[in-house]
Amino acid sequence: MNVILDFIAALGRAALNLVRTAGALALFGLAGLSHLVRPPFYWRIFLGSLVEIGFFSLPVVALTALFSGGVIALQSYTGFAQYHVQSAIAGIVVLSVTRELGPVLAGLMVAGRVGAAMAAEIGTMRVTDQVDALTTLSTNPVKYLVTPRLLAGTLALPFLVLVADILGVLGGFTVSVVKLDFSAPAYIAATLATVKPIDITVGLAKAAVFGFLIALMGCYHGYHSRGGAEGVGAATTSAVVGASILLLAFDYLLTDVFFSQ
């Protein structure tokens, strides 16, 4: 009997913790956003983060997209060859890349790269009193550290995903034409015939949400880290894991909202 009660109590505690964290995250995000409309805005930090996320993530996102597009083409070829519907491959590639793989894979890559870096940077500032020093120098730390990063994440990820879309389709195209001997014009025609603007725009909208979430998790965990280098390490891990899980959960929600009618 006691064992069961303990178990239920533990479950309840975990659930409460989850709700509390979710609430704290939401408040933190709102605080960060509220500074968008209250000047000053720290352009230097914003542009720095924008370049860091949007430009320096390009290689890793590009490679990921290129290979994923190629893999989709290969997989669907082996899967569908027996049904003689090879013409569908172009469509499968472009839809899976624009709707899902582009945003999700780019998001996960950026979560690992940028979310971790943000958590480590802000976390180090926290445990070495730099965040407190900001306050004593007439600077609101959330406005200075968090708001520009949230905006940069939200704007940079759609750009990365647009690149990922193009390169993913290119990957599928290359594999299909070079390895599977499809005709290039037919592949392109099939691609254009299948994809609709909404596939791309919804993918980009997802990307904006993912970018926000990644920056939010990086900033939140960094900002609340404590306890020296170890604490910063833990914050970095939490930021990446948390951002990845949130990202997949929101991917499901957004897909449900946009595509399930």
Residue 50 CA to residue 201 CA, distance in Å, equals 21
Contact of 221 with 238, CB cutoff 8 Å? yes
Among 64, 68, 121, 207, binds other proteins (CB under 8 A): 121
Please tell me whether residue 128 binds other proteins under the rule CB under 8 A: yes
Please tell me whether residue 129 binds other proteins under the rule CB under 8 A: yes
Measuring CA to CA, how many Å separate 135 from each of 131, 143, 144? 7, 11, 10
Residue 151's CB is within 10 A of a number of other CB atoms, namely 22
Tokens of 244: 């990845």
227 Cβ neighbours under 8 A, 6+ residues apart: 127
Please tell me whether residue 46 binds other proteins under the rule CB under 8 A: no
* Closest distance to other proteins from the beta carbon of 27 (Å): 15
- Binding residues among 200-229 for other proteins as defined by CB under 8 A: none
Please give the size of the binding site for other proteins, defined by CB under 8 A.
18
- Closer of 110 and 117 to other proteins (Cβ): 117
* Residue found under tokens 């390490």: 233
Q: What is the DSSP letter of 36?
A: G
Contact of 106 with 207, CB cutoff 8 Å? yes
Please tell me whether residue 132 binds other proteins under the rule CB under 8 A: yes
- Closer of 40 and 79 to other proteins (Cβ): 40
What track of x and - describes contact with other proteins for positions 133 through 152 (by CB under 8 A)? x-xxxxxx--x---------
* Closest distance to other proteins from the beta carbon of 165 (Å): 33
Residues that bind other proteins (CB under 8 A): 39-40, 42, 121, 124-125, 128-130, 132-133, 135-140, 143
